[in-house]
C-alpha cells in the first residue's frame, strides 16, 4: 500500500514540478524507465510469490538502471548505442511481459 | 450452460471485431503517409519558397489577362485593340517557343568532354536545372530549346532534337544570371557532375547574352486546341 | 499458499543453477526465468536460517523507491511528449502551408484559364478582317508550341508509381530523373503535348526533386505519377514498351519494382501551362519597351 502511494506521489510530483532533464541525461531516461518498470513488475511478482524482499528490490532496480545506462553509454562510444538500447529494451521487455503474465496467473488464475 | 457458451462466443466476436478495426485503421494510417508526410522541414521550406514564387508569377499573369480583357472590352476600335493584344501575346510566346531571337542577362556554359563520358541524361539534366533556376529561353550549340526538346544517345554522341551535338557543348540561357550560376554550382549539381566525369566546364555570367537560334513551329497532327470546360 | 508456488519457484531455480555457467540457450532462460533470481536466493537464505517471510516488514524503502520510479516515469513522459510533438507540430504546420499554397496556386491557374478563354474569345471575335487571319494562325501555332492552350487528342497514359515496400527510401521512390527520362522518351517519340499529374510541360516547366518530393512547375506532385501524352498512340505505346529509348527507364522500373504501365487512350485532355512569360528576355531588334509591338 505504502509502495503504491509512493508511486502515485512520484507521478504527481513529476507532473506538477515538471523538471527539465539535462541534455546529457536524455538518452538514458527512457531506458531507466524501462528498467524501473522491470523492477516494479518483478517486485509485484515476487510479492505474489511471497518471496518479496525490499533489499533485493532496491538493489535490482538500481543495478538494472545503472547497467542499462552503462551499456548504452559504452555503446554510444562504440557507435552501436542505438542497437544496444534496442537489445536492452528487448530483454527487459520480455521479462516485463512474462512477469505480467505470471501476475495475471496469480490474480485471475487464467 | 447455453447462455455461457453464447456469452463466450459474443466475447470472441467482439474481440475479433476489435482486431479487424485495428487492422483497418493501421492499414489506413500506413497508406495515408503521403510523400510530403515524410519530407524534412528544410525541403518543405524550399517547396514553400518555390510555391510562393509561382503564386506571384501566376498573380502577374492573372493581372495581365484582366488588363487585356478590360482593354479589349473598352476599346473604341475593337479590331485595332485585338490586333494589339494578339501582337503582344505573340511577342511573349515567340520568345518562349523560340521563334524569335532574344537577348537579355544570362549565362554561357561551355562543356568540353574529351572522354565522351557525358550522356544525353546530362543534357536533359542541364535543361531541367536551367528551367528550375528560371531560364526564360536557351540554346545548345545553336539549337533553340523548346518544350518538346529531347536528347538521346547515339553511340558516344549526343543527339538533340535530331541533330548531333559536336563538342564543346555551349549552352546559352537568358534569365537571372546569379540564380542560374548558383543552381549549376550546387553540390551534386551540373558542374560537379561534369567534373566528376572528367569534363571541363566553365560558367560565365553576362549582363547581355543573345539566343539567336530559332526553333521551327511544328503543326500538330493529333493535338487539337481544347475548348471543353 | 507458500507451498503451492514452491514447485514452480524451485523448478525455476534449478534451471537457473544449471544454466548459470553452461547455458547454451540464453533465449530460453530469458523467457523461462522471469522472476529475478536474487529474490529466490534471498528467500532460500532466509529459509536456511529459518526466518519467516519478510514481506511487508517496513515497506518504506520500497515506497520511497517507487516514488522515485514514478517521478522518473512522469518526467520521461513529459519529456517525450514535449520534445517530439514540438518538432512534429512545426512540420505539420509546414506541410499544411505547402498544401494551402498548392491549393491556392491551383485556384489561380483555374481562374487564369477562365480569363484566358474570355480574352481569347473576345480577341477572336474582333479579329474578323482578312488581314487578321495570319495573325490568328501565328498565334494559334505559338500557343501550341508554348503549351499555352489546353489540347486534346489521342495518346497514352504512362503510370509510374513508387515501389510498394514497407519502408520507402530514396531508391524505391520514383525520382525527378525517372520522370524527366519518361518525358524525354515521349518527346523523342514525337509526342505533341505532355503533362505530368495534370501539370502541362511547357518550355519553362522544370521537373525537379526537393528532398523526397518532386516539383513539376514548382508544384509538388506525388506518386503514382501519370504522364499523359498526346500524339500517335501506337508510336507512343511502342516507345514506352519496346523501343531502345525507354530501355533505361524500363530497366529501372523493373529492378526497383516501380509500377509501370502504359494505357492507350482515344482522347486525353491536357491543361495549359500557366504563368509562363518572359520577364528579362527581350526580342532582338525590338526596343526595351515591350509595350510597343515590333515594327513590321
Which grid coordinates belong to C289?
519597351
pLDDT, position C289: 43
User: Is C141–B86 a contact, with Cβ atoms under 8 angstroms apart?
Assistant: no
Tell me: pLDDT of C211 over 70: yes
pLDDT for position C16: 46
Q: For strands C213-216 and B163-165, give the pairing.
A: unpaired
* In the predicted structure, residue C290 carries a pLDDT above the cut 60: no
pLDDT, residue A40, reads 83
Task: List, in sequence order, the alpha helices (H) in chain B.
Answer: 2-32, 41-74, 78-97, 120-132, 177-185, 190-196
How far are the Cα atoms of A7, A14, A20, A43, C68 from residue A11, in angstroms, in the given order? 6, 5, 15, 18, 9
Cα-Cα-Cα-Cα dihedral sign, residues A96, A98, A99, A101: positive
Alpha carbons C212 and C64: distance in angstroms, whole number? 50
For residues B76 and B216, the model is more confident at: B216
Name the 3-class secondary structure at B87. helix
Give the per-residue pLDDT at C10: 42
Give the pLDDT of residue B37: 61
Higher-scoring residue by pLDDT: C12, B114: B114
pLDDT per residue as tens digits for the range C259-281: 898 999 999 999 988 767 788 88
Interface test with C, best of B76, B86, B145, B176 (most C CBs within 10 A): B86
Confidence at B105, pLDDT banded by 50, 70, 90: very high
Distances (CA, A) of B20 to B24, B25, B107: 6, 9, 61
C282 at B interface, C-beta within 8 A: yes
Amino acid C13: pLDDT: 43
Q: What pLDDT, on the 0 to 100 scale, is given for residue C5?
A: 39
* Among B184, B165, B162, residue whose Cα is nearest residue B109: B184
Q: What is the pLDDT of residues C177-192, one digit of tens each?
A: 899 999 999 999 989 9
pLDDT at C79 over 80: no
What pLDDT does residue C136 have? Answer: 86
Contact with chain B for residue C179, Cβ under 8 A: no
Q: How confident is the model at residue C130 (pLDDT cuts 50, 70, 90)?
A: low
To the nearest whole Å, the CA of C74 is away from the closest chain B CA by 28
Residues in chain A closer than 8 A to C34 (CB atoms): 45, 95, 98-99, 101-102
Digit-coded pLDDT (tens) for B158-207: 999 989 999 899 999 999 999 999 999 988 889 998 999 999 999 999 99
Angstrom distance (rounded) from CA B156 to CA B99? 30
Among C133, C144, C270, smallest CA distance to B93 is for C144
Please say if the pLDDT value at position C116 is more than 80.
Answer: yes
Contact A56 C70 (CB under 8 A): no
Grid cell in block for residue B61: 499573369
What pLDDT shows up at residue C111?
92
Chains that touch C (3 or more CB pairs under 8 A): A, B
Please count the residues of chain C: 296
- In chain A, which residues have their Cβ closer than 8 Å to the Cβ of C40? 51
Q: Per-residue pLDDT for chain A (110 aa), expressed as one digit of tens each?
A: 677 778 888 888 877 777 777 777 777 877 888 888 888 888 888 888 888 887 888 888 888 888 888 888 888 888 787 788 888 888 888 888 888 888 888 888 76
Q: Once rounded to an integer, what is the mean pLDDT over residues C34-46? A: 76
Contact C145 B97 (CB under 8 A): yes
| Residue contact A99–C35, C-beta within 8 A | yes
C245 backbone φψ class: left, alpha, beta (φ>0; ψ -120 to 50): alpha
CB neighbours of residue C259 within 10 Å: 15
Q: Name residue, grid cell 541534455.
A: A23
Residue reference for cell 536551367: B130
What phi, psi does B107 have (nearest 5°)? Answer: -130, 155
Does residue A23 sit at the C interface (CB-CB below 8 Å)?
no
Spacing of C-alpha B221 from chain mean position = 25
Overall average pLDDT of the C78-99 stretch:
76
* pLDDT at B2 exceeding the cut of 70: no
Task: Examine the pLDDT at C24 and tell me if it is beyond 80.
Answer: no
| A98 contacts C70? CB cut-off 8 A | no
Greater pLDDT, C221 or B24 = C221
Q: pLDDT digit string (tens) for C145-177? A: 998 899 999 999 999 888 776 666 677 788 888
Closest by Cα among C231, C217, C96 to C158:
C231
Confidence category of residue C193, pLDDT binned at 50, 70, 90 = very high
Judged against a pLDDT cut of 70, whether residue C293 lies above it is answered with no
Residue C220 · residue C214 · CB < 8 Å: yes
- Orientation angle between helical segments C247-256 and C176-188, nearest 10 degrees: 150
Q: Which candidate in C117, C200, C210 is best for mutational testing of the B interface (most B CBs within 10 A)? A: C210
Mean pLDDT over each residue of chain B, to the nearest integer: 86
Round to whole Å and give the CA distance between B139 and B214.
9
More confident call, C140 vs C57 = C140
Residues B140-153 have a mean pLDDT of: 93
Q: Rounded to 5, what percent of chain C is helix, strand, coil? A: 55, 15, 30
Dig out the grid coordinates for C120 from the structure: 481569347
Distance CA(B220)–CA(B169), nearest Å, equals 30
Number of DSSP helices (H) and strands (E) in chain A, helices first: 4, 0
The pLDDT value given to residue C11: 42
| Cell numbers given for A89 | 529494451
Q: Which residue of A has its CA nearest to C51?
A: A51
C287 falls in which pLDDT band (50, 70, 90)? very low
Confidence of residue C248 (pLDDT cuts 50, 70, 90): confident
Q: What is the pLDDT of residue C295?
A: 38
Contact partners for chain A, using 3 or more CB pairs closer than 8 A, are: C
Q: Does an H or E element contain C267, and which?
A: strand C259-270
- The whole-number pLDDT of residue B224 equals 87
Contact assignment for C42 to A54 by CB distance below 8 Å: no
Q: Between B136 and C64, whose confidence is greater?
A: B136
DSSP-assigned letter for residue B114:
T
Percent of chain B exceeding pLDDT 90 equals: 45
The two beta strands, B157-160 and C151-161, are: unpaired
Q: What angle do CA C282, C283, C286 make, to 5 degrees?
A: 100
Question: Helices in C23-169 by DSSP H: which ranges?
Answer: 26-32, 37-49, 60-126, 132-145
Q: Is the peptide bond before C224 cis (omega within 30 degrees of 0)?
A: yes
Interface subset of A 35-74, CB within 8 angstroms of C = 36-37, 39-40, 42-43, 45-47, 49-61
Dist CA C279 CA B174 (whole Å): 10
Using DSSP bridges, classify how beta strands B151-154 and B224-225 pair: parallel, antiparallel or unpaired. unpaired
- How are strands ordered across the β-sheet holding B163-165? B151-154, B157-160, B163-165
Q: Which residue has the cell 518504506?
A: C60
Residue A1 contacts C, CB cutoff 8 Å: yes
Please give the DSSP secondary-structure letter assigned to residue A25: G
Does the pLDDT value for residue B16 go beyond 80? no
CA dist B156 and B163 (Å) reads 14
Residues with Cβ < 8 Å from C219, sequence gap 6 or more?
B51, B54, C102, C105, C106, C199
C-alpha cell of residue A61: 532496480
When pLDDT is cut at 50, 70 and 90, the band that residue C58 belongs to is low
Which pLDDT value is given to residue C27?
Answer: 64
pLDDT the model gives residue B5: 73
Q: How far apart are CA C130 and CA C52, in angstroms?
A: 118
Amino acid at each position: 500500500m505504502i509502495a503504491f502511494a509512493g508511486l502515485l506521489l512520484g507521478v504527481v510530483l513529476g507532473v506538477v514540478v515538471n523538471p527539465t532533464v539535462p541534455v546529457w541525461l536524455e538518452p538514458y531516461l527512457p531506458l531507466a524507465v524501462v528498467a524501473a518498470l522491470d523492477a516494479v513488475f518483478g517486485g509485484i511478482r515476487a510479492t505474489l510469490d511471497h518471496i518479496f524482499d525490499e533489499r533485493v528490490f532496491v538493489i535490482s532496480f538500481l543495478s538494472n538502471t545503472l547497467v542499462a545506462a552503462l551499456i548504452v553509454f559504452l555503446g554510444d562510444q562504440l557507435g552501436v548505442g542505438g542497437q544496444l538500447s534496442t537489445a536492452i529494451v528487448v530483454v527487459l521487455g520480455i521479462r516485463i511481459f512474462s512477469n505480467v503474465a505470471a501476475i495475471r496467473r496469480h490474480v485471475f488464475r487464467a | 450452460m447455453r447462455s455461457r457458451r453464447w456469452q463466450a462466443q459474443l466475447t470472441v466476436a467482439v474481440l475479433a471485431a476489435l482486431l479487424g478495426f485495428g487492422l483497418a485503421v493501421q492499414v489506413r494510417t500506413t497508406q495515408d503517409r503521403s510523400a510530403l508526410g515524410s519530407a524534412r522541414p528544410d525541403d518543405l521550406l524550399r517547396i514553400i519558397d518555390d510555391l510562393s514564387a509561382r503564386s506571384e508569377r501566376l498573380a502577374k499573369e492573372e493581372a495581365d489577362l484582366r488588363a487585356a480583357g478590360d482593354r479589349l472590352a473598352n476599346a473604341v476600335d475593337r479590331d485595332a485593340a485585338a490586333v494589339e493584344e494578339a501582337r503582344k501575346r505573340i511577342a511573349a510566346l515567340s520568345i518562349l517557343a523560340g521563334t524569335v531571337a532574344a537577348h537579355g542577362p544570362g549565362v554561357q556554359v561551355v562543356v568540353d568532354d574529351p572522354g565522351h563520358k557525358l550522356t544525353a541524361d546530362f543534357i536533359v539534366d542541364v535543361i531541367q536545372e536551367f528551367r528550375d533556376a528560371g531560364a526564360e529561353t536557351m540554346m545548345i550549340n545553336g539549337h533553340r530549346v523548346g518544350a518538346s526538346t529531347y536528347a538521346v544517345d547515339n553511340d558516344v554522341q549526343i543527339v538533340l532534337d535530331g541533330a548531333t551535338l559536336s563538342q564543346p557543348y555551349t549552352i546559352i540561357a537568358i534569365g537571372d544570371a546569379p540564380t542560374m550560376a548558383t543552381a549549376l554550382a550546387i553540390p551534386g549539381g551540373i558542374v560537379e557532375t561534369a567534373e566528376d566525369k572528367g569534363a571541363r566546364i566553365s560558367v560565365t555570367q553576362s549582363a547581355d547574352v543573345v539566343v539567336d537560334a530559332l526553333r521551327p513551329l511544328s503543326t500538330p497532327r493529333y493535338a487539337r486546341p481544347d475548348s471543353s470546360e | 499458499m507458500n507451498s503451492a508456488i514452491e514447485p514452480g519457484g524451485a523448478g525455476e531455480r534449478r534451471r537457473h543453477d544449471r544454466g548459470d555457467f553452461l547455458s547454451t540457450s540464453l533465449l530460453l532462460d530469458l523467457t523461462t526465468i522471469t522472476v529475478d533470481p536474487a529474490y529466490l536466493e534471498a528467500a532460500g537464505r532466509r529459509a536456511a536460517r529459518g526466518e519467516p517471510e519478510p514481506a511487508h516488514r517496513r515497506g518504506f524503502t520500497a515506497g520511497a523507491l517507487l516514488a522515485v520510479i514514478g517521478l522518473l516515469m512522469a518526467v520521461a513522459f513529459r519529456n517525450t511528449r514535449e520534445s517530439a510533438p514540438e518538432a512534429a507540430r512545426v512540420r505539420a504546420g509546414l506541410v499544411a502551408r505547402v498544401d494551402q499554397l498548392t491549393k491556392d496556386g491551383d485556384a489561380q491557374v483555374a481562374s487564369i484559364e477562365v480569363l484566358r478563354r474570355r480574352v481569347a474569345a473576345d480577341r477572336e471575335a474582333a479579329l474578323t478582317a482578312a488581314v487578321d487571319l495570319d495573325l490568328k494562325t501565328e498565334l494559334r501555332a505559338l500557343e501550341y508550341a508554348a503549351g499555352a492552350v489546353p489540347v486534346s487528342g489521342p495518346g497514352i497514359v504512362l503510370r509510374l508509381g513508387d515501389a510498394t515496400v514497407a519502408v520507402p527510401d530514396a531508391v524505391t521512390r520514383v525520382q525527378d530523373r525517372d520522370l524527366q527520362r519518361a518525358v524525354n522518351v515521349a518527346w523523342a517519340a514525337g509526342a505533341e503535348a505532355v503533362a505530368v499529374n495534370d501539370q502541362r510541360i511547357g518550355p519553362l516547366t522544370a521537373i525537379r526533386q526537393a528532398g523526397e518530393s518532386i516539383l513539376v512547375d514548382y508544384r509538388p506532385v506525388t506518386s503514382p505519377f501519370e504522364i499523359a501524352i498526346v500524339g500517335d498512340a501506337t508510336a507512343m505505346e511502342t516507345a514506352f514498351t519496346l523501343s531502345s529509348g525507354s530501355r533505361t527507364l524500363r530497366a529501372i522500373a523493373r529492378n526497383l519494382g516501380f509500377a509501370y504501365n502504359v494505357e492507350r487512350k482515344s482522347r486525353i485532355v491536357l491543361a495549359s501551362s500557366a504563368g509562363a512569360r518572359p520577364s528579362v528576355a527581350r526580342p532582338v531588334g525590338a526596343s526595351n519597351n515591350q509595350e510597343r509591338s515590333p515594327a513590321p
